[in-house]
Amino acid sequence: MKKDKLNQTQTPLFLGKIIFVTLFAVVIASGCVNQLPVPEVQQWTSHEITLISQSSYDNGYTDIDVRASFTNGNGDTLIRPAFWDGGKTWKIRFAPPDTGSLWTWQAFSEPADRGLAGKTGKLHSVAYTGNNKLLRHGLLRMSPGKRNVIHADGKPFLVVGDTPWSIPFRATTDQVKIYAADRMNKGFNAALLMSVQPDMYAEGPDVRNTVLGFARGFDDLHEGHLNKLRPDYFQYLDSLMQILVDHGIVPVYQPVFHGFGWKGKTVLGPTAEPDEYARYCKYLVARYGSMPAFWLVSGDAHGLDPGVKPGGEMTEKWDCYHQPTGIHYNPADDYLPSWARGDSSRCFHYNRSYQDEPWLDFQWAQTGHDGLHLYHKVERMYDNKPVKANLNGEPTYEGMGNGKNGLGWWQGEEAWNQLMHGGTMGVVYGAVCLWQWKITPDEPGWDSWTNAPMSWKEAMAQEGSNYAGLVSKAFEGFDFADMERRRDLTDSDSYILAKEGIFYIAFLDKGGSIAIKNMTSGMPFYWFNPKTGVFEAEGTASSEGTYKAPDNNPWVLIIGERKFKQ
């Protein structure tokens, strides 16, 4: 009876209030769901988070540090630094390393800023469905034995690098699309880059694709500092780096050069304030570290300039994915060159600076540009302890010396022999006029030793790039990570590379025969033509087999199972 009486006393106004409140709650709840969807992010792809500061800062690059922690349901936590992108905008880029997880994130700032600190969010990691061969296998790291690079899923990555050093400050997006398509088709998978134009006294218009011109990454680099960063420069650089990655080419980021630089007009690297250099290394990790990357903390020197170690340590601290970090040297590892003018302080480094440091993953030698095949550098570096991956990071660029040095097959012979003598991390190629990104064949500004009558586009088409690029095609699919230099497994005086019982590779520069000992019977073998990129013969190995090349031209013998898909 009480229930009926209550129902009888409910007025239309009372019922209307109930309906209104209920509908309002539903609308609010529905609105919250619509406003806060949990995005799905494919594994190893970059998810960008934008934060807007409450306060204004005189210099957003130097005045505040922002970071975010990302934690999944298993309790795994990754820390990503944020980067200033102009005005009141900071961005965080994160690539989930797994699938099927709910990741939660929280931002922090020092000093505290209510627009930045305390912001939170979520994302779901899902399987990658794209066709990018880099992202399909995950970001890069060092192999267990430290001699090679591998993807996150274990697929080996042999560096086959090119040196278009000046792309970041000279090239346009349309040009880089042309370049990247050419290099991808030839087999290149890495590009060595000066992230900013490093010469303090270089002059020219602040414009890309213009004779003598170059874009500026810092407004105070010419004054000897790295404090006044230009976000618009890096926003454009984002588009160039994305083009490279889309074409399967990993950017190799060198912060500020330490040697010759772009035009030899006094690079900032040797005198950069260590804290400024390290902060810039952190910025590069923040901006580009969620994509495939190498970090080259010293370029074209002895590796001991004041900012190098702080830069390496900063990179190691903030790169939660631990992509490879290393040093690129000048050629004066064991002699005093004429350009040193009697000063040996930047010489006799033996390509082993900071060999004991945990942040250092690889060492890259340089053999100079005189057209000489010099294999003793990587041969010695291979024996250094503790083990660091190594290669020759700068052979004679094709066409150096006014178009005369390192032409054609010279580049193929160089690449294969550097590998066999101990540069097991991979190979690097370079071309005159491409490295400085010459706009026109007659653009002035370079000495004859590093010049030729070509533009970047003409230089890109030189014959030798075909042979260097083909090296990657020989290794594709094989399990070569931590292959060792071995002379004891063959009856010749030459080295072969082997992962005993799994993978063997030998370069025969004039064909002929080679015997390989202690083989696993039944393994397939192949003859690869290093001039055409074609596998022209195959068979089955025996335990003590002798293998005869198809003719007396250069050939590569490969023994092993293809275990990895592209």
* Secondary structure of 41-52 as H, E, C letters: EECCCCEEEEEE
Query: Strand 555-560 to strand 524-529: parallel, antiparallel, or no bridges (unpaired)?
Result: antiparallel
- If DSSP codes are grouped into helix, strand and coil, which group holds residue 141? strand
Give the contacts of 73 (CB within 8 A, at least 6 positions apart): 101, 102
Element holding 324 (H helix, E strand): none
Map residue 210 onto helix, strand or coil.
Answer: coil
pTM (whole model) above 0.75 = yes
148's CB contacts (< 8 A; 6+ apart) are 142, 156, 157, 158, 389, 424, 425, 480, 481, 482, 483
DSSP one-letter string for 305-352 = STTHHHHHHHHHHH-TT---EEEEE-S-SSS--GGGTT--TTS--TT-
Query: How is the beta sheet containing 156-157 ordered, strand by strand?
Result: 140-142, 149-151, 156-157
Question: Torsion angle of alpha carbons 129, 131, 132, 134, nearest 10°?
Answer: 70
| b/e code 401-415 from CB counts within 10 Å (16+ = b) | bebebbbeebbbbbb
In this prediction, the residues of the chain whose per-residue pLDDT falls under 50 are 1-33
Distance CA 127, CA 67 (A): 26
3-state secondary structure of 530: coil
pLDDT at residue 35, rounded to an integer: 62
Task: Give the distance, in angstroms, between the CA of residue 461 and the centroid of all CA atoms in the same chain.
Answer: 23
CA dihedral 143, 238, 191, 430 (to 10 degrees): -160
244 alpha-carbon distance from chain centroid: 10
Rounded CA-CA distance 431/459 in Å is 6
Q: What is the DSSP string of 394-422?
A: --PPBTHHHHTBS-THHHHHHHHHHHHTT
* CB contact at 8 A, 563 and 479: yes
3-state DSSP helix/strand/coil % of the chain, to nearest 5 = 25, 25, 50
Helix, strand, or coil (residue 501):
coil
User: Diameter of the chain by CA atoms?
Assistant: 111
**281 closest CA partner among 51, 138, 83:** 83
Amino acid 362 reads F
pLDDT number for residue 26 = 43
Q: What is the pLDDT of residue 16?
A: 44
Task: Count other Cβ atoms within 10 Å, centred on residue 132.
Answer: 15
Helix, strand or coil, per DSSP, at residue 334: coil
Task: Tell me the two tokens of residue 443.
Answer: 């653009």
Strands 503-508 and 159-162: unpaired
Task: State the DSSP code for 61.
Answer: T
Q: How far apart are CA 115 and CA 338, in angstroms?
A: 56
What is the C-alpha to C-alpha distance for residues 56 and 73, in angstroms, rounded to an integer? 36
Region label for 383, one of left (φ > 0), alpha (ψ between -120 and 50) or beta (otherwise): alpha
- Sorted by sequence, the CB contacts under 8 Å of residue 407 that are 6+ apart come out as 398, 399, 462, 463, 464
Distances (CA, A) of 163 to 153, 190, 261, 436: 27, 9, 13, 9
Helix H or strand E encompassing 339: none
422: left (phi over 0), alpha (psi -120 to 50) or beta: left
Q: For residue 71, what are the CA distances in angstroms to 38, 66, 135?
A: 15, 17, 21
Structure token pair of residue 387? 């083990």
Cα atoms found within 13 Å of the Cα of residue 339, Cβ hemisphere only: 11
CB neighbour list of residue 437: distance below 8 Å, 6 or more residues apart: 164, 165, 166, 167, 170, 171, 456
Q: Can the peptide bond before residue 306 be classed as cis, meaning omega within 30 degrees of 0?
A: no
- Say which amino acid occupies 120: T
Encoded tokens for 130: 């794209």
Alpha-carbon gap, residue 66 to 81, rounded angstroms: 6
